[in-house]
Chain A
Amino acid sequence: AQSVAQPEDQVNVAEGNPLTVKCTYSVSGNPYLFWYVQYPNRGLQFLLKYITGDNLVKGSYGFEAEFNKSQTSFHLKKPSALVSDSALYFCAVRDRGNYGQNFVFGPGTRLSVLP
């Protein structure tokens, strides 16, 4: 069975500082990995994905994530945080070998960027 862990409920960072939101996953086969962001009263917005190839993937709004197979991690990063980055972030996994498999979402991490 697939699962996703986001070990931090809340991450606080000062504006201009680098941010990291952690994600670890478990999947029987090879994974597709995703990050989504949710602003208040909105649906989830897709940020980036890892499918194959380069372990460092770049996405929207200056975010990037690094796939680490040995640590089964896919941490989200940004070199310089903005107050507008404050939101709820979800990591998700999908089993690459099973297109019919659903997406599994982590519990979410609330990011607060302090001015």
Chain B
Amino acid sequence: SAVISQKPSRDICQRGTSLTIQCQVDSQVTMMFWYRQQPGQSLTLIATANQGSEATYESGFVIDKFPISRPNLTFSTLTVSNMSPEDSSIYLCSAADMGAREAFFGQGTRLTVV
């Protein structure tokens, strides 16, 4: 199984600013994903982070708002740009390997925008 380290674990940010969340996997993985989750609710996929190319965004999410980097097979970042209180949520990094089939998750970043 893969171990995923995500940071920061939580942050309180001013509206209009940006926050970059980092995700480090302890092994090379094929796929990395970024999700958003309201507390107690299901996961909403923001995008698939592609190594060496632009991320693939889901409907309702755009690169200008959620730029994503994935420079190698073990690391990715998600930036939440020009934040508003509506961006307050839990952001989760996930990684999956084709061989193992299942996905593994980081601890999440609890973001509060004030």
Task: Report whether A51 and B101 are in contact in the complex, using a CB–CB cutoff of 8 Å.
Answer: yes
Q: How many Å from the CB of A41 to the closest CB on chain B?
A: 7
Chain A positions within 8 Å of B105 at CB level: 36, 43-45
Q: Which of B38-65 contact A (CB under 8 A)?
A: 40-43, 45, 48
Per DSSP, are chain B's interface residues mostly helix, strand or loop, or mixed? strand
- CB contacts (< 8 Å) of A106 on chain B: these are 42
Complex CA distance for A44 and B1, rounded to whole angstroms: 13
Q: A68-112 vs B: 1/0 string, CB under 8 Å?
A: 000000000000000000001010101000010011011110100
CA distance A106 to B33 in the complex (A): 17
Chain A residue contacts of B107, Cβ below 8 A = 42-43
Instruction: Count contacts on B: residues with CB < 8 A to the other chain.
Output: 23
Interface of A is mostly: strand
Tell whether A67 is near chain B: CB-to-CB under 8 Å. Answer: no
List of B residues within 8 angstroms of A99 by Cβ: 98
- B-to-A contact residues, CB < 8 Å: 1, 4, 6, 33, 40-43, 45, 48, 92, 94, 96, 98, 101-108, 110
Indicate if the CB atoms of A46 and B104 lie closer than 8 Å. yes
Q: Which residues of B contact A88 (CB under 8 A)?
A: 40
A88 to chain B, nearest CB (A): 7
15 A–B contacts, CB within 8 A, in A order: A32-B101, A34-B103, A41-B108, A41-B110, A43-B6, A43-B108, A44-B94, A49-B101, A51-B101, A88-B40, A94-B101, A103-B33, A103-B103, A107-B41, A108-B40
* Residues on the A chain within 8 Å of B4, using CB: 43
CB distance from A52 to the nearest CB of B (A): 10
